[in-house]
Structure 1
C-alpha cells in the first residue's frame, strides 16, 4: 500500500516532489529543479524501511495468533510457551521502533539538507 503511494508520487526520475523548496506560493527561481527531482535513493530507503517494518509486523501477527491458540487450548505446556512468544513479540516491537526511528532521522536529515541547499543558492 505504501509502495503504491510512493510509486504514484515518484513513478520516474522526471516527476518532482517538493520538500521545503520554497515554492508554497508557486514562486521559485528555477534553480532548485535538482532539489525537487525525485531522489530515488530517498524513496528506496523509505520503501526498504517500510518493507522491513511490515515483515516484522507480519511476524508478530503470526505470533499473536499462536499465543491466542495456546491460550484457548488451556494446556499448561502451551500456556508456558506463551511467555517466550510474548517476549518475542515485545522484541519485535522494539525492532519496529528502531526502524521507524532511523527512518525519521534519515528523512529529517534529508529535508534539512535540501533546505540548506536552497538557502545557499539564494544567498
Structure 2
C-alpha cells in the first residue's frame, strides 16, 4: 500500500502534496490503533459476559461506553479523511478538462460524471 501513493492523479503531472499524504497516513494509523483497542475491549466484554460475575457485568457498562466512544472517533476520522480526500482531488484535478483520471496504479480511467454534480 505504501507504493500506492496516488502519484498519477489529476492530469498526470500533478501530485498530491506530501503533507496531505502524511495526514492520510496519520489518520489511518489512528484508525487502526482505535480498532485494535476495540478488539481488546470486545474480548474483555465477552469474557466478562461469559463469567456472569456481577462485578464483571457492571464493568461492561463502562467498557461498552468506551467502545461506543471509540467507534464515534473512527467515524469522525473517516469523515475528516473523506473531506480531505475530496478537497485534494478537487485541487489536483483543477484545470484537467480531459475527462481522464489516473488511478494509483498509473493506468488511465475515464471520469464518471454524475447528473446534477
Superposition TM-score tier, normalisation by shorter sequence: 0.7 to 0.9
The 5 A counterparts of 1:11-26 are: 17-21=7-11
Question: Gaps spanning 5+ residues in structure 1: where?
Answer: 11-15, 24-32
User: How many residue pairs align between the two structures?
Assistant: 97
TM superposition shift of 1:108: 0.4
TM superposition shift of 1:118: 3.8
> 4+ residue runs of structure 1 moved beyond 3 angstroms?
none
TM superposition shift of 1:117: 4.4
Q: What residue is the counterpart of 1:49 in the other structure?
A: 27
Q: What residue is the counterpart of 1:9 in the other structure?
A: 4
Question: Gaps spanning 5+ residues in structure 2: where?
Answer: 98-117
Q: Which structure is richer in relative contact order (CA contacts within 8 A, separation 6 or more)? A: 2
Does 2:29 correspond to 1:73? no
TM superposition shift of 1:19: 2.1
TM superposition shift of 1:112: 0.4
2:27 and 2:51 mapped to 1: Cα distance? 36
Q: What residue is the counterpart of 1:88 in the other structure?
A: 66
Q: Note the aligned Cα RMSD (angstroms).
A: 1.8
1:84 and 1:9 mapped to 2: Cα distance? 40
Does 2:85 correspond to 1:107? yes
**TM-score (norm: length of structure 2):** 0.74
1:101 and 1:9 mapped to 2: Cα distance? 21
DSSP 3-state at the match of 2:72: helix
